[in-house]
Structure 1
């Protein structure tokens, strides 16, 4: 039929054995090299560039392998073929790399894509040394730009905003205008810098630009990375369902490989399902994230997953297991100096110490790492209400000014908890109701439940007063009911049938000592109507007389 097909691997082994049998020992190496080159050319002609590259490296033909690696403007490792590229580069002697600075740059680039950042700068410096005496032409300028682009990535790993922007601008100045792959990667890194600066609108636009360009040019690595980063910003802006779509898209793009991006996508989904109080799905995605990270020996991703797993264990009442996970994560973070994860580690450690009652240790961590929301929780536990309210007001103002929706929501929930501790229940309902309005469309659960019994009590009060979104409040109270750490006896149970607004008015007047006739005059109601309201109130509160109704109303926070 004159069509190509793949041999069964056993048949392929047989053919190779027959080849070795028919070749003289002296001619075998040269013959194999020629066959590999023929295979390489055939694969290239048929659009199978990774296979073409692998046969060129097996020849071995350095020049042809380098040409195929470059991929006509889109390097192979940018399209997901990181492992074969890195394996070949690791096998080359330094003399070969020095003679071709492009290979040093590709080496650094491939290492960075697998998260092996420790050896990247060394290889960039080797590339610069090899370029010292080279003529400054389009090719060398492009390499200088690529070096700057990789340094921008290193700066991003250390959260160095100034360096990201400086190196990205240098990269865009030197890179060839047609080098879409690296220029797109640089746009993505600028988006990350905007994200770190708190300009999430600019960050999302940069990520969308990078996604559009990389999808057009076939730059799979940046397409996936920008999609995940977009998902993360959507998550931070409380757009949880949009974030889930972004993470799922990234999974679909990378599901056939164990790239770091696949670990990141599952980690993002794990965080979302944790927030949605779906611990089973969260556990599954976090397990997949951890598996992918361990497959490629990526410590950065392993640690990120361990931190969310620790939070999950805390929510399940397993503080000991959470402590073990945090200890492992802390060791790796300090060993590799993962700057991006110091704050996240400290935030979860503080939650653990608050759970265990270690207020002094929690406060030291909050002050050391400048974590205002954690500090507010500590003030609340210490009974330092005024400091907590003042701090939350400052953080809330900044969140509104910079449009940091995640901070805004958390501040509102914490303000409600602090006002509850102050005994100002009616005031506490106001920020809590605002938080519920912001959170309901996106399905937030753990943001409320993780703040504990005070929020449950306020939600019960809102349920009994028929305030806010009753279906959403019911959903949150059901989540509280499953908590291992909060005994149900500490959380007041909502009324099955809440009092109406008129019944609440009548109950208030009963508590003030007014008779039925006086209530009738006060509310301009017929005496029989007032007595009917009384019967409804007694039935709903499950009491038989006025004094019991008042006591029960106070227990439920209705008075």
Structure 2
């Protein structure tokens, strides 16, 4: 019991701590973990991490037995803890009150309860991403990361880093997102941290590699993340299954995709995950499988069903699937196109592209424009080529290879000439006709490395750079070392001079 009394929410994210706590609960005398407010909250956080949300909500109600508290201060504190936990739960249940409860908790929780502050910032960042407000999401991610670094807590830093990587990917900053994921994984390895955060980062890394056209690396990363998520009983394994299903569909491995879909549903049910956390995602995956199987009518019906559910509750997107409704709209337009409803599909894609551009969903906007180019070719070849040319330039800027690989597999003669104009973006398995020129420094450096280099050029110290970019001092040093290696110099002053000479810096 003393060990449990000393435990806190961040320890639930290490290795299999949440799973172990729930095993202990089943072995301890009934109701023992309900004997104090702290133990109730600890059990609730363990249940949340394992996505046993119905049980978590019931467990949290046990706090009412300890109200009112003996004095006003403890009463306010207990209510703030309740609001923080309830707000996080409400986000998982896609309830709009999540924002109000998490915001209230942030105002009333004392600074010493920084862990709960971080969890509230995570929930608010998730809510903002679902609502398409990437600016607010970034603010909450940064606030949570600052707190975790201030208290040198790697578990919480990894937790917020997962959301930050999602945010970067939504914004089209794929190089930065991949660098970030790899750096966090290196930190976790260095400190021998496994568990759900390691699993999530491996899954994200795999998905980002897939976007860059590295199917082999993507498969390995996704499989490793899936194994670790299975061991931790982390519901994030849904994200890994969906990414693997998408890869299988793009390769034409229909039977494997079908088996993965069945396995994902079976695993969600065995873990007692509420349907609200996975139902619409699996319907999206099923629609993707229908399209790969040449059944666009079935895909359309599935996707219309998902959109109907999202229309009733726009916050329904589970963790990681923050652009769910827009992904559904993209696939629905594809289904309509394959059903011969070309004009309808083009209108849907044009509306979707406008929405993505307005919200700053640059990656999805680029994919949508590529699909629009294909659809428009049957209606207006000149407009199709213009859209394709713009999309190819965006793919180059965003390091997006996956949609280009799909376009090349379609082998449309009209697009082949434009694709050939960007040999550096051609899929890795294509043999180049001629040797490619060495990449320019702007292509060699990631977005984050460029930001660090600009601050170096302004005369900032490593500590000042860390504070401005809200990253660790160790990460700044890693970026500086990589910049020197890529620019083939030894000192910071040489890196700045080389960058200016190449036009990388003004």
TM-score range, shorter chain: 0.7 to 0.9
Among 315, 335, 342, the alignment partner of 1:378 is 335
Query: Take 1:79 and 1:325, find their aligned partners in 2: how far apart are those partners?
Result: 27
What's the counterpart of residue 128 of structure 2? Answer: 194
Among 398, 402, 416, the alignment partner of 1:460 is 416
What's the counterpart of residue 336 of structure 1? Answer: 273
Q: List runs of 5+ in structure 2 lacking aligned partners.
A: 308-327, 435-506
What's the counterpart of residue 391 of structure 1? Answer: 348
Structure 2 residue 204 is matched with structure 1 residue 268: yes
Greater C-alpha Rg: 1
CA deviation after TM superposition for structure 1 residue 196, in Å: 1.1
Contact residue 363 and residue 375 of structure 1 kept, 8 A: yes
Structure 2 residue 282 is matched with structure 1 residue 349: no
Among 146, 152, 176, the alignment partner of 2:110 is 176
Query: Take 2:223 and 2:50, find their aligned partners in 1: how far apart are those partners?
Result: 19
| Pair 1:117–1:138, CA change in 2 (3 A) | same
Of structures 1 and 2, the one scoring higher in RCO (CA 8 A, sep 6+) is: 2
| Pair 1:294–1:77, CA change in 2 (3 A) | closer
Query: Take 1:343 and 1:420, find their aligned partners in 2: how far apart are those partners?
Result: 32
| Pair 1:356–1:86, CA change in 2 (3 A) | closer
Among 394, 415, 431, the alignment partner of 1:438 is 394
Structure 2 residue 241 is matched with structure 1 residue 306: yes
| Pair 1:333–1:103, CA change in 2 (3 A) | closer
Contact residue 258 and residue 296 of structure 1 kept, 8 A: no
Among 299, 312, 320, the alignment partner of 1:362 is 299
CA deviation after TM superposition for structure 1 residue 347, in Å: 2.8
DSSP-derived class of the 2:366 partner: helix
Query: Take 2:279 and 2:355, find their aligned partners in 1: how far apart are those partners?
Result: 22
CA deviation after TM superposition for structure 1 residue 100, in Å: 1.8
Query: Take 1:220 and 1:495, find their aligned partners in 2: how far apart are those partners?
Result: 47
CA deviation after TM superposition for structure 1 residue 243, in Å: 0.8
Q: Deviations over 1:334-392 (max 9, x none)?
A: 66334344443333322221222212211101211122211110121122111111111
Contact residue 428 and residue 458 of structure 1 kept, 8 A: no
What's the counterpart of residue 214 of structure 1? Answer: 148
CA deviation after TM superposition for structure 1 residue 418, in Å: 0.5
What's the counterpart of residue 123 of structure 1? Answer: 59
CA deviation after TM superposition for structure 1 residue 449, in Å: 2.6
TM superposition score normalised by structure 1:
0.67
Among 283, 293, 301, the alignment partner of 2:229 is 293
Query: Take 1:458 and 1:202, find their aligned partners in 2: how far apart are those partners?
Result: 42
Among 359, 366, 369, the alignment partner of 1:402 is 359
Query: Take 1:419 and 1:313, find their aligned partners in 2: how far apart are those partners?
Result: 27
Contact residue 181 and residue 217 of structure 1 kept, 8 A: no
| Pair 1:353–1:396, CA change in 2 (3 A) | same
Q: Deviations over 1:20-60 (max 9, x none)?
A: xxxxxxxxxxxxxxxxxxxxxxxxxxxxxxxxxxxxx5xxx
CA deviation after TM superposition for structure 1 residue 305, in Å: 1.4
CA deviation after TM superposition for structure 1 residue 301, in Å: 2.6
Write out aligned runs for 1:109-188 (5 A).
Answer: 109-129=45-65, 131-160=66-95, 162-188=96-122
CA deviation after TM superposition for structure 1 residue 164, in Å: 1.8
What's the counterpart of residue 470 of structure 1? Answer: 422
Contact residue 228 and residue 250 of structure 1 kept, 8 A: no
Query: Take 1:452 and 1:384, find their aligned partners in 2: how far apart are those partners?
Result: 23
What's the counterpart of residue 68 of structure 1? Answer: 6
Query: Take 1:237 and 1:347, find their aligned partners in 2: how far apart are those partners?
Result: 22
Q: Deviations over 1:89-147 (max 9, x none)?
A: 55543454444222111211233234443421121111222x13432443343232222
| Pair 1:287–1:383, CA change in 2 (3 A) | same
Contact residue 250 and residue 292 of structure 2 kept, 8 A: no
Contact residue 448 and residue 455 of structure 1 kept, 8 A: no
Contact residue 133 and residue 359 of structure 2 kept, 8 A: yes
| Pair 1:316–1:398, CA change in 2 (3 A) | closer
Query: Take 2:205 and 2:119, find their aligned partners in 1: how far apart are those partners?
Result: 24
CA deviation after TM superposition for structure 1 residue 316, in Å: 2.5
TM superposition score normalised by structure 2:
0.74
What's the counterpart of residue 230 of structure 1? Answer: 164
Query: Aligned Cα RMSD in Å?
Result: 2.9
Structure 2 residue 252 is matched with structure 1 residue 317: yes
| Pair 1:292–1:165, CA change in 2 (3 A) | same
What's the counterpart of residue 252 of structure 1? Answer: 186
Contact residue 159 and residue 196 of structure 1 kept, 8 A: no
Q: List runs of 5+ in structure 1 lacking aligned partners.
A: 1-56, 483-493, 497-559
Query: Take 1:409 and 1:333, find their aligned partners in 2: how far apart are those partners?
Result: 32
Count of matched residue positions in the alignment of Structure 1 and Structure 2 = 410
CA deviation after TM superposition for structure 1 residue 317, in Å: 2.4
Query: Take 1:141 and 1:199, find their aligned partners in 2: how far apart are those partners?
Result: 31
Q: Deviations over 1:467-491 (max 9, x none)?
A: xx43235x14x65x69xxxxxxxxx
Query: Take 2:50 and 2:188, find their aligned partners in 1: how far apart are those partners?
Result: 14
Query: Take 1:392 and 1:222, find their aligned partners in 2: how far apart are those partners?
Result: 39
Contact residue 114 and residue 259 of structure 1 kept, 8 A: no
| Pair 1:240–1:428, CA change in 2 (3 A) | same
| Pair 1:240–1:338, CA change in 2 (3 A) | farther
Contact residue 124 and residue 147 of structure 1 kept, 8 A: yes
